[in-house]
Structure 1
Amino acid sequence: MHSFPCTQCGLCCQKVGLAEETRFLDRGDGICKNYDSISRACQIYVDRPDICRIDRQYVLNYAKKMSWSEFIDINIKVCHQLQSAEILKQ
Protein backbone atom coordinates (compact mmCIF):
# COMPACT_ATOMS: atom_id res chain seq x y z
CA MET A 1 0.00 0.00 0.00
CA HIS A 2 1.60 3.26 -1.13
CA SER A 3 1.08 6.46 0.81
CA PHE A 4 -0.58 9.66 -0.34
CA PRO A 5 2.04 11.89 -1.99
CA CYS A 6 1.25 15.04 0.00
CA THR A 7 3.14 18.12 -1.24
CA GLN A 8 2.46 19.96 2.05
CA CYS A 9 1.10 22.96 0.14
CA GLY A 10 -1.49 23.57 2.88
CA LEU A 11 -4.34 24.23 0.47
CA CYS A 12 -6.60 21.59 2.01
CA CYS A 13 -6.10 23.37 5.34
CA GLN A 14 -6.95 26.71 3.75
CA LYS A 15 -10.25 25.44 2.29
CA VAL A 16 -11.93 23.75 5.28
CA GLY A 17 -14.98 25.96 4.88
CA LEU A 18 -15.86 24.27 1.58
CA ALA A 19 -16.91 20.89 3.00
CA GLU A 20 -19.48 20.13 5.67
CA GLU A 21 -17.14 17.54 7.22
CA THR A 22 -14.41 20.10 7.88
CA ARG A 23 -16.40 23.27 8.66
CA PHE A 24 -15.98 22.72 12.40
CA LEU A 25 -12.28 23.54 11.86
CA ASP A 26 -12.99 26.89 10.14
CA ARG A 27 -11.63 29.87 12.06
CA GLY A 28 -14.10 32.10 10.22
CA ASP A 29 -12.30 32.76 6.95
CA GLY A 30 -12.28 29.24 5.50
CA ILE A 31 -8.85 28.45 6.93
CA CYS A 32 -8.36 25.78 9.59
CA LYS A 33 -7.98 27.14 13.09
CA ASN A 34 -4.98 24.83 13.54
CA TYR A 35 -3.14 25.94 10.38
CA ASP A 36 -0.12 28.20 10.83
CA SER A 37 0.07 30.38 7.70
CA ILE A 38 3.68 31.37 8.37
CA SER A 39 5.13 27.87 8.65
CA ARG A 40 2.40 26.41 6.39
CA ALA A 41 1.97 23.57 8.86
CA CYS A 42 -0.63 22.12 11.19
CA GLN A 43 -0.10 23.11 14.81
CA ILE A 44 -1.69 19.86 16.02
CA TYR A 45 -0.47 17.49 13.31
CA VAL A 46 0.22 14.54 15.63
CA ASP A 47 -3.21 14.92 17.27
CA ARG A 48 -5.16 16.15 14.21
CA PRO A 49 -8.77 14.96 13.77
CA ASP A 50 -9.60 11.83 11.78
CA ILE A 51 -11.03 13.94 8.94
CA CYS A 52 -7.49 15.24 8.36
CA ARG A 53 -5.99 11.75 8.20
CA ILE A 54 -6.28 10.27 4.73
CA ASP A 55 -5.44 6.75 5.90
CA ARG A 56 -8.01 6.91 8.72
CA GLN A 57 -10.70 8.26 6.36
CA TYR A 58 -10.10 5.36 4.05
CA VAL A 59 -10.53 2.79 6.82
CA LEU A 60 -13.56 4.50 8.34
CA ASN A 61 -15.49 5.46 5.21
CA TYR A 62 -14.14 4.07 1.95
CA ALA A 63 -12.47 0.67 2.39
CA LYS A 64 -15.66 -1.21 1.53
CA LYS A 65 -16.38 1.04 -1.47
CA MET A 66 -13.04 1.16 -3.31
CA SER A 67 -9.43 0.07 -3.24
CA TRP A 68 -6.72 2.08 -1.53
CA SER A 69 -5.21 2.92 -4.93
CA GLU A 70 -8.55 4.24 -6.22
CA PHE A 71 -8.98 6.31 -3.08
CA ILE A 72 -5.48 7.77 -3.41
CA ASP A 73 -6.07 8.56 -7.09
CA ILE A 74 -9.28 10.45 -6.27
CA ASN A 75 -7.54 12.41 -3.53
CA ILE A 76 -4.62 13.25 -5.82
CA LYS A 77 -7.08 14.61 -8.41
CA VAL A 78 -8.79 16.81 -5.81
CA CYS A 79 -5.42 18.01 -4.55
CA HIS A 80 -4.34 18.91 -8.09
CA GLN A 81 -7.64 20.75 -8.65
CA LEU A 82 -7.01 22.86 -5.54
CA GLN A 83 -3.46 23.59 -6.65
CA SER A 84 -4.56 24.49 -10.20
CA ALA A 85 -7.27 26.83 -8.91
CA GLU A 86 -4.70 28.52 -6.66
CA ILE A 87 -2.30 29.03 -9.58
CA LEU A 88 -5.10 30.58 -11.66
CA LYS A 89 -5.97 32.89 -8.76
CA GLN A 90 -2.43 34.27 -8.68
Structure 2
Amino acid sequence: MSCNSDQLPFPCIKCGLCCQRVSLAKETLFLDRGDGTCRYYDPASKGCSIYNERPDICRVDLQFTLHYTHLYTWEHFVELNLVVCCQLIEADESE
Protein backbone atom coordinates (compact mmCIF):
# COMPACT_ATOMS: atom_id res chain seq x y z
CA MET A 1 0.00 0.00 0.00
CA SER A 2 1.23 3.48 -0.83
CA CYS A 3 1.88 6.15 1.74
CA ASN A 4 0.14 8.55 -0.62
CA SER A 5 -3.27 7.36 -1.77
CA ASP A 6 -2.85 9.28 -5.06
CA GLN A 7 0.13 7.20 -6.18
CA LEU A 8 0.14 3.64 -7.42
CA PRO A 9 2.02 1.15 -5.23
CA PHE A 10 5.50 0.02 -6.25
CA PRO A 11 5.07 -2.69 -8.93
CA CYS A 12 7.10 -5.40 -7.19
CA ILE A 13 7.18 -8.69 -9.12
CA LYS A 14 8.13 -10.60 -5.96
CA CYS A 15 11.23 -12.25 -7.40
CA GLY A 16 12.98 -12.02 -4.02
CA LEU A 17 16.26 -10.89 -5.54
CA CYS A 18 16.54 -7.65 -3.59
CA CYS A 19 16.12 -9.72 -0.41
CA GLN A 20 18.89 -12.04 -1.56
CA ARG A 21 21.31 -9.15 -2.13
CA VAL A 22 21.11 -7.10 1.07
CA SER A 23 24.91 -7.11 1.32
CA LEU A 24 25.12 -4.83 -1.74
CA ALA A 25 23.90 -1.69 0.08
CA LYS A 26 25.20 -0.25 3.34
CA GLU A 27 21.62 0.64 4.30
CA THR A 28 20.60 -3.04 4.34
CA LEU A 29 23.79 -4.68 5.65
CA PHE A 30 22.25 -5.09 9.11
CA LEU A 31 19.75 -7.54 7.58
CA ASP A 32 22.44 -9.87 6.19
CA ARG A 33 22.23 -13.34 7.73
CA GLY A 34 25.84 -13.96 6.68
CA ASP A 35 25.47 -15.04 3.06
CA GLY A 36 24.18 -11.80 1.56
CA THR A 37 20.54 -12.79 2.00
CA CYS A 38 18.14 -11.06 4.37
CA ARG A 39 17.57 -12.87 7.65
CA TYR A 40 13.81 -12.50 7.07
CA TYR A 41 13.75 -13.81 3.50
CA ASP A 42 11.48 -16.83 3.01
CA PRO A 43 12.66 -18.78 -0.06
CA ALA A 44 9.41 -20.75 -0.30
CA SER A 45 7.34 -17.61 -0.87
CA LYS A 46 10.19 -15.47 -2.23
CA GLY A 47 8.99 -12.90 0.26
CA CYS A 48 9.47 -11.48 3.70
CA SER A 49 8.64 -13.56 6.77
CA ILE A 50 7.90 -10.33 8.68
CA TYR A 51 6.35 -8.36 5.82
CA ASN A 52 3.92 -6.30 7.92
CA GLU A 53 6.70 -5.45 10.39
CA ARG A 54 9.57 -5.20 7.88
CA PRO A 55 12.20 -2.49 8.39
CA ASP A 56 11.56 0.96 6.94
CA ILE A 57 14.40 0.52 4.42
CA CYS A 58 12.38 -2.29 2.82
CA ARG A 59 9.35 -0.06 2.28
CA VAL A 60 9.80 1.59 -1.10
CA ASP A 61 6.87 3.96 -0.67
CA LEU A 62 8.05 5.10 2.75
CA GLN A 63 11.64 5.60 1.56
CA PHE A 64 10.34 7.83 -1.21
CA THR A 65 8.28 9.89 1.23
CA LEU A 66 11.06 10.22 3.80
CA HIS A 67 14.06 10.81 1.55
CA TYR A 68 13.35 11.40 -2.13
CA THR A 69 10.26 13.56 -2.68
CA HIS A 70 12.46 16.63 -3.13
CA LEU A 71 14.58 14.87 -5.78
CA TYR A 72 12.16 12.83 -7.89
CA THR A 73 8.57 12.36 -8.80
CA TRP A 74 7.09 9.05 -7.63
CA GLU A 75 7.05 7.84 -11.24
CA HIS A 76 10.75 8.62 -11.74
CA PHE A 77 11.65 7.03 -8.41
CA VAL A 78 9.79 3.86 -9.42
CA GLU A 79 11.57 3.90 -12.78
CA LEU A 80 14.98 4.14 -11.08
CA ASN A 81 14.11 1.29 -8.73
CA LEU A 82 12.91 -0.86 -11.62
CA VAL A 83 16.26 -0.34 -13.36
CA VAL A 84 17.92 -1.89 -10.31
CA CYS A 85 15.35 -4.71 -10.30
CA CYS A 86 16.21 -5.48 -13.93
CA GLN A 87 19.93 -5.43 -13.14
CA LEU A 88 19.39 -7.93 -10.32
CA ILE A 89 17.34 -10.19 -12.60
CA GLU A 90 19.95 -10.05 -15.37
CA ALA A 91 22.76 -10.81 -12.91
CA ASP A 92 20.79 -13.73 -11.47
CA GLU A 93 20.09 -15.17 -14.93
CA SER A 94 23.77 -15.01 -15.85
CA GLU A 95 24.88 -16.94 -12.72
Show structure 1 runs of 5+ residues with no match: none
State the identity %: 52
- The aligned residue for residue 29 of structure 2 is 23
Aligned length: 89
Deviation at 1:3, TM superposition (A): 2.0
- The aligned residue for residue 64 of structure 1 is 70
Provide, for residues 10-50 of structure 1, a one-character-per-residue CA deviation record: whole Å limited to 9, x for no partner: 00000001100000000000000000122222110000011
SS of the residue corresponding to residue 59 of structure 1 reads: helix
TM-score, normalised by the number of residues in structure 1? 0.95
- The correspondence of residues 11-90 of structure 1 with structure 2, limited to 5 A, is 11-89=17-95
Q: Which runs of 4+ in 1 moved over 6 A?
A: none
**RMSD over aligned Cα, in angstroms?**
0.8
Show structure 2 runs of 5+ residues with no match: 1-6
